[in-house]
Copies of this chain bind each other. A is one copy, B any other.
Amino acid sequence: MSGGVVVGVDIGGTKVLAGVVNDDGMVRRTALRTTPGRRVVASQVEDALVAAVLDAAAGRPLAGVGVAAAGFVDSAGERVMFAPHLPWQGEPLRDQLKERLGCPVGLDNDANCAALAEAHHGAARGAVSAIVITMGTGIGGAVLIGGRVIRGANGMAGEFGHMQVVPDGQACECGRRGCWEQYSSGNALVRNARALMVDQPSVLVEMSGGAPEHVTGPMVTSAAEQGDLVARQAFASVGGWLGVGTANLVAALDPEVVVIGGGVSAAGDRLLDPARAALRRTLVGAEHRVVPPLVAAELGPQAGMIGAALLVSGAQVRR
């Protein structure tokens, strides 16, 4: 890739973040644009994307551009089939950008890109295999083998959040019941806290103006930091379920390391300690085998952009 820069772009519903990324995963120069939104035509979003790329490159030739999109990307990495906050529907984005930018272009969804970044430059670097679990509103993630994301036959792998952990359990937005993310996610954290604060004293009562429905994830995190027992119980439950679901993935795949990313992971060991305990309690043969370390992601909000750059710098994602 001599003679040019590799740019990674993370495009979400609100912003387009582009950056020149070195081979060692260091981000050299970034550029930010506002995402035009869903109501515009597709080409306007591409305009913003191209502008961010050229701004980041600052006149240097492009060796390649990788795109992390907040949407569903087909298994060939050519099209964005659907994106909740973007106007793309089956858009052949990879080829269109290739033509406009005149360089190789890679495309994958943001969760896969973030996982790829953690595998190469973050918490899973050096690992032969890894599972990356992204805890935000729900649970997403990726399986990495030999530094590559397992995308699945239809690009649908990594839907960890909808593995059933409780038969006939909590109703899920997906229409099923008992999905893992109903017990372990930002939403689950808030729901737990709201339910517990009804019967127990908690700083969340004051923080929310006495209205449980106004409790947010950051409030629960803040309350837990202040030692609030309701908030801490909410984290213990979400963390415990994180460990149970992780044990199922480890039984199936025996990864070298499990990385926890996403907004909820900012709580660190408050989330991870109960998860580690539950993993050890639930994983078959834990007394006699290597239990993989469960660690926090390292790259934060730049992970998607860094991983996007990897799409065009040698770490091709496998089908």
Q: Please list the residues of chain A having a beta carbon within 8 angstroms of any beta carbon in chain B.
A: 127-129, 143, 145-146, 150-160, 162-167, 174, 176, 179, 244, 247-249, 251-256, 281-285, 289-290, 292, 318-319
Contact = CB atoms under 8 A, between A and B. Distances in A.
A143 to B, nearest CB: 7
B254 A157 contact: yes
B319 A153 contact: no
A283 B152 CA distance: 15
A165 B167 CA distance: 7
A75 B163 CA distance: 27
A150 B247 contact: no
Secondary structure at the A interface, as helix, strand, loop or mixed, is loop
Contacts of A167: 165-166, 244
A150 B253 contact: yes
B289 A154 contact: yes
A129 B143 CA distance: 14
A285 B174 contact: yes
Q: Which of A127, A150, A166 has the most CB of B within 10 A?
A: A150
8 contacts: A129-B152, A146-B318, A153-B292, A154-B289, A156-B254, A157-B254, A159-B251, A159-B252
Given A153-B255, A156-B289, A159-B254, 5 more contacts: A129-B150, A143-B252, A143-B253, A164-B282, A176-B284
Contacts of A247: 163-164
A154 B129 CA distance: 10
A252 B153 contact: no
B153 A248 contact: no
Q: Which 10 A-B pairs rank lowest in CB-CB distance, beginning with the nearest?
A: A152-B254, A162-B284, A153-B256, A157-B254, A156-B254, A163-B248, A159-B251, A174-B284, A154-B290, A162-B251
A62 B204 CA distance: 73
Contacts of A128: 153, 319
B255 A164 contact: no
Q: Which of A255, A282, A284, A319 has most B Cβ within 10 Å?
A: A284
B252 A158 contact: yes
A256 B75 CA distance: 12
Contacts of A162: 251, 283-285
Contact of A176 (B151, B256, B282): B282
Nearest to A167: B166
Contacts of A156: 254, 285, 289-290
Nearest to A183: B167
A79 to B, nearest CB: 15
Contacts of A282: 164, 176
A225 B174 CA distance: 38
Contacts of A251: 159-160, 162-163
